[in-house]
Amino acid sequence: MSRTLSNPPSVELLSAVSTFLINDIAPQVNGQSAFHIKVACNILNIVAREIENGADLNESVCEALSNILSDQKTGSDEAQDLQSLKAELSEVIKNDQIKNNAELLDALKMLTLKQLAIDNPKYSGYHQALKSNER
């Protein structure tokens, strides 16, 4: 859930900017600028999704990465941020210290799906992965 510090909520501010770009600016431009308006709206949508779900994502991904790390090797159990957890797991893989490759791939798939739900939930590979999970 997004926390509203003031009104309108930030997600609605972003939506107002998107609507303005699409309805008022896009019809007046073409070529490269029209393409860049699409890119700009995509960026605003990413930010909106991140405001709504980013905190949850960060927390659950950090927890899952910590679990993977403690499953795969014995190490420090200190709380770490996302980047350093990724770096630590990368190091474990690089050094061939992975015990169960299939389990690791499954866990990483779950994390990537959560990240994609923010970055680009329309992506074909995202839907392909969701479909293969249903099987």
| Binding stretches for another protein (CB under 8 A) | 31-36, 39-40, 42-43, 46, 83, 86-87, 89-90, 93-94, 96, 101, 104-105, 108-109, 112-113, 115-116, 119-120, 122-126, 128-129, 132
Neighbouring C-beta atoms of residue 122, cutoff 10 Å? 9
**Least separation in angstroms between CB 120 and another protein:** 6
Least gap, CB of 118 to another protein (angstroms): 8
Instruction: Write down the H helix ranges in the chain.
Output: 10-20, 32-72, 82-94, 101-119, 124-134
Nearest distance in Å: CB 6, another protein: 26
ω into 8 cis (within 30 of 0): yes
